[in-house]
Amino acid sequence: MTYCLVVDDSSVIRKVARRILEGLSFEIGEAEDGKQAIESCTARMPDAILLDWNMPIMDGYEFLTTLRKMTGGARPKVVFCTTENDVGHIAKAMDSGADEYVMKPFDKDILASKFEEVGLV
């Protein structure tokens, strides 16, 4: 089963994403911020990461930069999932090593489409 880590400080978003991604046959792990996500990736590197941008302690951009330098950190497909919807943020995320970008709010079709785009659906 493909393992996806959902990283978002909102428990509501984590719950919605979990429900959608479990429906797409993903195994789900959760983290509330970038620091917790790094700890989770150190323990078990996921196949995919759904990643929020604005989070306390370590934001999504800093997490991604750190992740990509970790052993095995180049492997997970990273889909940014954030309220930031301007071209500058999207370009910065893609340049920093994200594989896809979801603008909130999202629905099942959008998440399925993005995970299909990165070859995981």
Partner 1 sequence: MNANVIQRVIQFISKAAGIVLTPDKAYFIDARLSPLLREENLGTIEALLSKVEAGDRRLSARMIDALTTNETFFFRDRTPFDHFRNIIIPELIQRRPAGKTLRIWCAACSSGQEPFSLVMLLDEMKAQLGGRQVEIHASDISESILAKAKSGIFNQFEVQRGLPTKLLLQYFKKDGDNWQISPDVVRRVNFFRHNLLEDPSRLGTFDVVFCRNVLIYFDRPTRAKIFAGIADRLAPDGFMLLGGAESTFGVTDRFTSHPKERMLHIPLPPRKAPVAVPGRAIA
Q: Which positions lie near partner 1, rule CB under 8 A?
A: 85-87, 90-91, 94, 100-103, 106-107, 109-110, 113-114, 116-117
Q: How far apart are the first and last CA of the chain?
A: 11
Shortest spacing between CB 42 and partner 1, in angstroms: 28
Neighbours of 43 (CB within 10 A): 8
For partner 1, the closer CB: 33 or 100: 100
For partner 1, the closer CB: 70 or 118: 118
Shortest spacing between CB 22 and partner 1, in angstroms: 21
For partner 1, the closer CB: 70 or 103: 103
Shortest spacing between CB 104 and partner 1, in angstroms: 9
**Amino acid present at 81:** C
* Cα separation values, 70 from 21, 64, 76, 98, Å: 25, 10, 11, 15
Strands (E), 9-62: 26-31, 48-51
